[in-house]
Amino acid sequence: MAILETVVIAFWAMLPAYVPNNAAVLAGGGRPIDGGRTWGDRRVLGDGKTWRGTAMGTLAGVALAAVLTVIEPTVSDALGFAVPSFEPLAALGLAGGAMLGDILASFLKRRSGRQRGAMFPGLDQLDFVVVSLPLTALLATEWFQTWFTLEVILVVVVLTPILHVTTNVIAYKLGLKNEPW
């Protein structure tokens, strides 16, 4: 598989996992998932993880997967190679897994004494990959095996932190996010 082809497939396949966090930033707010509860003297998750943000983020990722699936034949045709269409369970695994990974990251941040918004290099950039890929493999095994080859996974692990840093700096400059990470 040509490298450019692998990069395009990796990016396309991960779009439903990339969008939820950004959608959550725009749609977040309201009641925090942990309901304000603490564990020890620290919040379980913090005010940055809300029900609305999580639901809207997951919904945005699944909706994007549906749109990509509709345009997939046209795009594959134009590119000259096939990009994935998304089974419903694959879409749910990617989008829901991204949100779960982000929540898990906040849990780990709070346990390690980091305040809301604190930086956690590495975790911040890859939290959603770490959960969305295994969850998708679990929910849509055949689909996952077809598209997430070792090469694609490698590209995802390299590409994701770069995209994450770039989009967060842009969101910060636009005033959408409080911190550039």
Positions in the binding site for ligand CTP (CB under 6 A): 24-25, 28-29, 46, 48-50, 53-54, 57, 99, 102-103, 106, 109, 116-118
CB of 54 to ligand CTP, least distance (A): 4
CB of 36 to ligand CTP, least distance (A): 14
Residue 22 or 85 having the CB closest to ligand CTP: 22
CB of 86 to ligand CTP, least distance (A): 21
Residue 38 or 146 having the CB closest to ligand CTP: 38
Residue 106 or 136 having the CB closest to ligand CTP: 106
Residues with Cβ within 8 Å of 1's Cβ and at least 6 positions away in sequence, in order, are 149, 151
Residue 85 or 106 having the CB closest to ligand CTP: 106
CB of 109 to ligand CTP, least distance (A): 5
Residue 82 or 126 having the CB closest to ligand CTP: 126
Residue 84 or 97 having the CB closest to ligand CTP: 97
Would you say 11 and 159 are in contact if contact means Cβ atoms under 8 Å apart?
yes
Q: State the Cα angle at 73 between 70 and 77, rounded to 5°.
A: 150
Of 96, 116, 123, 110, nearest to 21 (Cα)?
A: 96
Residues with Cβ within 8 Å of 28's Cβ and at least 6 positions away in sequence, in order, are 48, 50, 52, 53, 56
CB of 98 to ligand CTP, least distance (A): 10
Pull the structure tokens for residue 81: 């190679």
Side-chain-facing half-sphere of 24: CA atoms under 13 Å: 26
Would you say 50 and 30 are in contact if contact means Cβ atoms under 8 Å apart?
yes
CB of 25 to ligand CTP, least distance (A): 4
33 φ, ψ to 5°?
Answer: -60, -40
